[in-house]
Chain A
């Protein structure tokens, strides 16, 4: 289990906190305290600009608070709902400003993707993987980020981008196939 997975007790407790916030917005403070850092980190990894990140994070919580009455638990935790708002805000910012989006990678997880596409992991394979990742489009790279660099479950990924868990799984495996093809193509290196 990782930080993104929740037990039933956690989810029930959180649902009580959400219901309290629906009745009294001041009670949203518990959820704000709990999720401020994860949302900030999520946004920062994609922007690497502290002030911009603080603005987007504020907007995420404002939108969450304004729309909290519409939130209904449908098997996806509240955090996924927040990340979904953050995901949409980030995409909206980059669409509007035509700025360069950051993709944060780390070598440990890069090594894991190389293994996932059933290749021997060495520095040459990692280099090829980097080049292959650069050839993916924004939607595909987002899924890879969620799954391999942020270690999210398929259910959570589905909740964030608004698709089913199965659909998320299928998409991720298709992207891995695409990466395998890109890595094996003559132009990859």
Chain B
């Protein structure tokens, strides 16, 4: 049995309320996004992808920096080794 709720004699929404949601420009924008593959969209036009790439690059930079510092510290002779 379907989960149904019966309402009797409820009025429809007024036209002004319905027209408030009508937006052909938004539909066209969604259409462009849906039909244009991501690789065809220039990076500067897609802020989300741009931000994600920027974050990935930043994280990679931080990881590399940390690794390099670690390596440098390992290469440096310890003070005990220096005194010998």
A: residues with CB less than 8 A from B are: 25-26, 28-29, 32-33, 36-37, 40-41, 44-45, 48, 50, 53-54, 57-58, 61-62, 65-66, 94, 98-107, 110, 130, 133-135, 137-138, 141
Contact = CB atoms under 8 A, between A and B. Distances in A.
A130 B3 contact: no
Given A41-B12, A57-B21, A104-B10, A137 B27 contact: no
Nearest to A130: B6
A41 B17 CA distance: 11
A101 B4 contact: yes
B31 A48 contact: no
Nearest to B18: A40
User: What are the 6 closest A-B residue pairs judged by CB atoms, nearest first?
Assistant: A138-B2, A54-B21, A100-B5, A100-B3, A40-B18, A103-B6
Contacts of B6: 102-103, 105, 130, 133-134
A135 B55 CA distance: 56
Contacts of A99: 3
Chain A residues touching B, majority SS: helix
- Chain B, interface size category, equals 20 to 34
Interface in B1-22: 1-10, 12-13, 15, 17-19, 21-22
Contact of B28 (A26, A36, A40, A45): A26
Contacts of B12: 41, 44-45
Given A26-B28, A44-B13, A58-B26, A101 B18 contact: no
Given A37-B15, A100-B3, 6 more contacts: A26-B28, A41-B13, A57-B21, A58-B26, A99-B3, A102-B5
A106 B5 contact: no
B4 A65 contact: no
Contacts of A37: 15, 18-19
Given A58-B27, A62-B27, A101-B4, A107 B21 contact: no
7 contacts: A33-B24, A36-B19, A44-B13, A61-B27, A105-B9, A106-B9, A107-B8
A42 to B, nearest CB: 10
Contacts of B35: 66
B34 interface: yes
A97 to B, nearest CB: 10
Contacts of A29: 24
Contacts of B15: 37
